[in-house]
Structure 1
Amino acid sequence: METLIMVGQLLLGLSILVGVHEWGHMVAAKSFGMRVEKFSIGFPPKIWGRQIGETEYSIGAIPLGGFVKITGMIDESLDTKSLSDEPEPYEFRAKPAWQRLIVMMGGIIVNVIVGIIIFISLAFVNGEEYLPSEELNKNGIVAYDLGEQLGFQTGDRVIAINGKDYERFSDLLSPDLLLGSDNYYTALRDGQEIRVDMPNDFIDKFADKRNRVNIISPRLPSVIGQLEPGGNAENAGLKTGDRILAVNDKPIGYHDEIRPILQKYPSQEVQVMIERGSERKDLTVSVGEEGTIGFYPAFELTYVTREFTFGEAISEGTYNAFAVVWLNIKGFQKMIAGDVDVRKSLSGPIRIATFFGGTWDWNNFWRIVGLLSMVLAFMNFLPIPALDGGHVVFLTWEIVTGRKPSDKFLENSQKVGMVILLSLMAFVIINDTISLF
């Protein structure tokens, strides 16, 4: 069921994004009097179609893109049969270069607008919830394997990033930081300030989704927040709100100190000292085979919720939308510099589906769709033939020089671009498949 939900969200998200992208091209073309022959969401074979006026609207069986067929334009269909004739007034090639440029930019512009609207809406409806750095540093952090490789230790209090104060716990592993260079933290350890450097290739390790929960987290007190129904802790008499003071006479101050002790006694019994109100009790608790007793810690840290007025949401949402583009640019720079493994950085449809998750959460769905809308705009703007950006380059050349590239040149460029895009698509699909195992 989780897989079906992920696939369903992916298909719906792609359909929305491809639909608005191609709609942007079509509206721009029709506004300049160009004939639009086909508008398709998905690639052939066609599973549904309807002729309305001069345009056939259809849905293709392969939901990994879409297209608009504009008369007189050399596109991915490579339909050049009519190009030897004199152009008709309604053809793409008969229009001024500046109009053709607007048509090719139409999809990108609409994707940017949609992405901005989504991010503004999310900011206005949901606001922003975050853990302030002051709350984080009450107890410090828990450093897991990858966090320790970075140089952190459990109990560290992170007081600065690149020598400057920070506001949120999420700032410690923000995309902007991960994609930057020569970054470092300042941590307080045993009363001494220490420097923790982030390697420039750290994003490669972070790109593995299994490592994202294996770096650092806020350190929590040893207070029971929730008991597993019928679990060993509940059966032994532990209750929500109890503070664990010791396990087998070993003092406990924080939740992360409990499990390493329990894992030494799988399928055995341990003595647990708790504090409940003003009294203390010793309880005998059975440990499971995995080294757990069946409870979750209380999250005794206070999150801050910031609500935005509509005007503030416009500013915040627009900033967040264009931050996606900036991060993509920095990511490309990292790949070119060799700091990032391309195999870990490029995502295809399989990996994108996992971003949506196995439960249908509309907030998460629209956040991913907004992000993908900005990514789609950025990727389409790349100067690769067969992408909108390739057409933009040729049209800009025509406007600046007054010389139009020959139809043969455009046709061959389109072929080269299609080979590049199909090769890239095959690479990301194979790479996604390998990453599942």
Structure 2
Amino acid sequence: MNAVIYTLGVLVFIVGVVVSIALHECGHMVPARRFGVKVTQFFVGFGRTVWSTRRGETEYGFKAVPLGGYVKLVGMLPPAKDTDPHLVRQSNTGLFTQLVSDARAAEYELVADEDMDRLFYRLPWWKKVIVMAGGPLVNVAIAAVLFAVVLIGFGAQVPTTTVQSVSDCAISDAEAGRACTDADPPTPAREAGLLPGDVITSFNGDPVDGWEELTRSIRANGDRAAAIGFDRGGAPQTVTVQTSVIERIAVDDPDRVEDVGFLGVSPTFANERQGPLVVGEVMWETSQATVEAILRLPERMVGVVKAAVGGERENDGPISVVGASRVAGELVTLDEPTWAERAQRLLSLLASLNLFLALFNFVPLLPLDGGHIAGALWEGIRNAWARLRGRPEPGPVDVARMLPVAYAVGLTLIVMSVILIYADIVNPISIT
């Protein structure tokens, strides 16, 4: 049965990825058409065409490798300055010069005279920004919707002030997981006689509304006496105890430790539906973690290469879509979850993936969307500066000059993808 559920989880995740890619490309295509740009192709995947159909002037279809997609917007590259785009290509000296020349010629081979006013490069800079930002922003919207479904629709496991367990001894976070010894002092909660099921209602006379508030109060209390009010079996009680001081990880910085007050209880978790503000907080926190992961990607790839040749794989390192699919299968079978929990886990994974796709595509390098956005913004700045100086606008930025960089970045991304996929096959990350 688990094998069937595992396979189902993988398939659902793959479908979610394909839909996310398709919607990303729609984010480019829809505004491009609105602005009159000719769109000739809309494909999900790369490589050999598996299926396609033509609707009007656009061919829609699927490619064999579902690791991306593309929309063909005619006229992405402007013609060389003071040249007719319909002229036959001319030979150039220099590898990069020839690459740019060939790319321009290929861009205009299928452009008819009636298409000249429908070329992408002729759009005002702000329309170019809208078209190129449309794809990543769709991924942001998908992530927001999925996180909202998970947090508002299903809810989230949140800690309550009901005691789940009482620790026997005080052990710092640095030694967490080891058994108690005779040298370890008993926890204040154990000495106070707190029991699982007790509901803590106040701390030093102040009502306690949630676990986070209780944690802050305990940490700030140091080694002073504290009056703890709690409810046991419907009967309110109060006990006075002196909290101890222990080394714990800081709440606001997981890389820092600090000496704080300690009681020695862990909370019971309950599923509670969250509000829109929590969705925003989760989006922000996930975005911060994603940006950090993107910035560290070159560094982390060193570990992936080592893992691919037999080294140890880091469980929090980068993975490919293949690795993410394996994780999806494990998520729906780990700890025998309910169907609602399976749905929550898959939707959360897809939401995080969409947020990563959005932020990665905003990186200002060609061939990523961010590279085109940066070019359009520079065009707007350059034209505005020319107007301020009373000079003619210099016109569209020639992104073709950045094609060597685009080829280098594209090749790097392909190599990284191959290494990640290989590592995910021979030495995969496992959450079990």
TM-score, normalised by the number of residues in structure 2: 0.61
Cα offset for 1:320?
A: 1.7
d(CA) in 2 for partners of 1:374, 1:109: 9
1:241-281 CA distances to partner (integer Å, 9 max, x unpaired)?
A: xxxxxxxxxxxxxxxxxxxxxxxxxxxxxxxxxxxxxxxxx
d(CA) in 2 for partners of 1:142, 1:350: 44
Cα offset for 1:304?
A: 2.7
8 Å Cα contact 1:74-1:410 kept in structure 2: no
Distance 1:46 1:141, change over 3 A: farther
Distance 1:70 1:134, change over 3 A: same
8 Å Cα contact 2:120-2:128 kept in structure 1: yes
Choose the corresponding residue for 2:355, options 368, 374, 388.
374
d(CA) in 2 for partners of 1:26, 1:389: 16
Choose the corresponding residue for 1:324, options 286, 292, 295.
286
Equivalent pairs counted in the alignment come to 316
1:24-72 CA distances to partner (integer Å, 9 max, x unpaired)?
A: 0000111101011111111131111111111111011111111111111
> Where in structure 2 are the equivalents of 1:326-345 lying within 5 Å?
326-332=288-294, 343=304, 344=314, 345=317
Q: SS at the partner of 1:357?
A: helix
2:247: which partner in 1? 195
CA RMSD between the two structures: 4.3
Gapped regions of structure 1 (runs ≥ 5) = 160-164, 173-183, 204-217, 221-300
2:57: which partner in 1? 54
Choose the corresponding residue for 1:305, options 255, 258, 271.
271
Q: SS at the partner of 1:390?
A: helix
d(CA) in 1 for partners of 2:364, 2:44: 23
1:128-149 CA distances to partner (integer Å, 9 max, x unpaired)?
A: 222336625x4139999xx976
d(CA) in 2 for partners of 1:185, 1:13: 45
d(CA) in 2 for partners of 1:103, 1:115: 19
TM-score, normalised by the number of residues in structure 1: 0.61
Choose the corresponding residue for 2:74, options 71, 74, 81.
71
> What amino acid is aligned across from residue 55 of structure 2 in structure 1?
I
Distance 1:25 1:104, change over 3 A: same
Choose the corresponding residue for 1:114, options 132, 142, 148.
142
Cα offset for 1:89?
A: 0.8
Distance 1:80 1:153, change over 3 A: farther
Q: SS at the partner of 2:117?
A: coil
8 Å Cα contact 1:40-1:66 kept in structure 2: yes
> What amino acid is aligned across from residue 349 of structure 2 in structure 1?
I
d(CA) in 1 for partners of 2:382, 2:351: 37
Q: SS at the partner of 2:363?
A: coil
Q: SS at the partner of 1:57?
A: strand
1:201-234 CA distances to partner (integer Å, 9 max, x unpaired)?
A: 999xxxxxxxxxxxxxx999xxxxxxxxxxxxxx
Q: SS at the partner of 1:323?
A: helix
Cα offset for 1:124?
A: 2.0
Choose the corresponding residue for 2:16, options 4, 13, 31.
13
2:27: which partner in 1? 24
d(CA) in 1 for partners of 2:142, 2:28: 14
8 Å Cα contact 1:151-1:197 kept in structure 2: no
> Where in structure 2 are the equivalents of 1:87-236 lying within 5 Å?
88-132=116-160, 135-136=163-164, 138-140=165-167, 150=175, 153-154=178-179, 192-196=244-248
2:375: which partner in 1? 394
Cα offset for 1:153?
A: 4.3
8 Å Cα contact 1:322-1:374 kept in structure 2: no
Distance 1:53 1:202, change over 3 A: same
d(CA) in 1 for partners of 2:51, 2:143: 28
d(CA) in 2 for partners of 1:103, 1:140: 57
Cα offset for 1:191?
A: 6.6
d(CA) in 1 for partners of 2:169, 2:297: 31
Cα offset for 1:333?
A: 5.4
1:422: which partner in 2? 414
8 Å Cα contact 1:187-1:195 kept in structure 2: no
Percent identical pairs in the alignment equals 21
Q: SS at the partner of 1:305?
A: strand
Distance 1:148 1:26, change over 3 A: same
> What amino acid is aligned across from residue 33 of structure 1 in structure 2?
G
Gapped regions of structure 2 (runs ≥ 5) = 79-101, 181-185, 190-207, 224-241, 256-263, 305-313, 333-338, 384-393
d(CA) in 2 for partners of 1:44, 1:333: 29
1:354: which partner in 2? 326
1:89-126 CA distances to partner (integer Å, 9 max, x unpaired)?
A: 11111211211111110101111111111111222211
8 Å Cα contact 1:115-1:370 kept in structure 2: yes
1:61-86 CA distances to partner (integer Å, 9 max, x unpaired)?
A: 111111111111259x9574244988
Distance 1:186 1:32, change over 3 A: farther
d(CA) in 2 for partners of 1:6, 1:134: 34
> What amino acid is aligned across from residue 100 of structure 1 in structure 2?
K
Q: SS at the partner of 2:116?
A: coil
